[in-house]
């Protein structure tokens, strides 16, 4: 499995590439999706009433902050620990690299 990733990282073939303007189309689509989601969120929150909307918004913000600062870093660490341990089996320093 490691040799596949090593080959993927070191290959120089450019393969099939999209035109340069596709990046801007992707950003525009992402911005439209965010805008529609914001609009729907505001409309649904208006139906709930002020107090329930405030509680919902507070729980949403706490959930986002918890995800950014706690859950996601833990996931990253847990995903890279096995890779790091496995990598040490494949990479062997040559005698000239040992000080």
d(CA 55, CA 5): 46
pLDDT at 70 over 90: yes
pLDDT at 44: 83
On whether the CB atoms of residues 45 and 53 are closer than 8 A, the answer is yes
Question: Tokens in use for 45?
Answer: 């929150």
Residue bearing the bigger pLDDT, 45 or 17 = 17
Q: 28-49: per-residue pLDDT in tens?
A: 999 999 999 989 988 887 888 8
Closest CA to 57 of 72, 46, 68, 67: 46
- Which contiguous run of DSSP H or E holds residue 51? helix 50-66
Q: List the domain boundaries for the chain.
A: 23-81
């Amino acid at each position: 499995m490691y040799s596949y990733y090593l080959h993927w990282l070191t290959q120089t073939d450019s393969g099939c590439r999209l035109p340069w303007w596709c990046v801007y189309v992707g950003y525009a689509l992402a911005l439209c999706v965010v805008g529609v989601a914001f609009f729907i969120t505001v409309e649904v929150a208006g139906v709930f009433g002020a107090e329930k909307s405030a509680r919902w918004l507070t729980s949403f913000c706490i959930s986002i902050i918890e995800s950014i600062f706690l859950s996601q870093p833990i996931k990253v660490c847990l995903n890279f620990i096995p890779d790091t341990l496995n990598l040490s089996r494949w990479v062997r320093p040559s005698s000239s690299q040992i000080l």
